[in-house]
Structure 1
Amino acid sequence: MIGFLVYLINIVANVLELVVVVDAVLSFFMHPLHPVRQALGRIVRPLLAPIQRVIPPIGGFDLSPIVLIFLIEIVRSVLVHFLLALAW
């Protein structure tokens, strides 16, 4: 059971990180009103907004996706280690 939860956490974190990266890359090529960008934005923007309030864009470059991926990795690591500690 613990193994399944660890697997599920890893899958969710990987998918979320992929969505963040795809949204960041597409922001260079697609219009903000494109349906794909809007769909990704509905997922990513609520997570990026608090980070963007603390870390504004620097020279037109938004660092919030990098920070979000870092935070996702921290949460993943904490959850996995907690679950594995419960298994012992």
Structure 2
Amino acid sequence: MTHGALLIADARGQVGDYLGTLLNIYVLLIFVHILSSLFFSFGGRVPYNRVLNAVLEFLRQVCEPYLRIFRRFIPPLGPLDLSPLVAILVLTIGGGIVVNLIRG
């Protein structure tokens, strides 16, 4: 291999690693959003806190647009909403495929 080809391969690997890390962070944010939603749906209450409210609003604004895509097609089963589980599976599997394609 030439020096240029090695640089391109290294850059592709780094871009793939970066994208994989971003996908993992997004899955983590969705998971935290699900846990916070469950906490409040079971009657959990916390005292007013500006920082906590900002974090919860951030999670809602970041996660809800993606989750809404799946909520259109997957109806809730009583009180149980399976759309976040499907959304995480699609993100993990689809993201893994894209990352592997980028890495080569």
Structure 2 length-normalised TM: 0.72
- Does residue 79 of structure 1 match 2:95? no
The answer to whether structure 1 residue 59 and structure 2 residue 69 are counterparts is: no
Relative contact order: is structure 1 or structure 2 higher (C-alpha 8 Å, sep ≥ 6)? 2
Structure 1 unpaired stretches of 5+: none
1:6 aligns with 2:16: yes
**2:21 aligned with 1:21:** no
Q: CA deviation at 1:37?
A: 2.2
1:24 Cα deviation (Å)?
0.2
Corresponding pairs, count: 83
Q: Deviations over 1:5-24 (max 9, x none)?
A: 11111111110000000000
Which residue of structure 2 aligns with residue 38 of structure 1?
A: 57
3-state secondary structure, aligned to 1:62: coil
Match of 1:50 in 2: 69
TM-score norm. by structure 1 comes to: 0.83
Alpha-carbon deviation of 1:25? 0.4
The higher radius of gyration belongs to 2
Structure 1 match to 2:89: 70
Whole-angstrom CA distance in 2 between matches of 1:57 and 1:43? 21
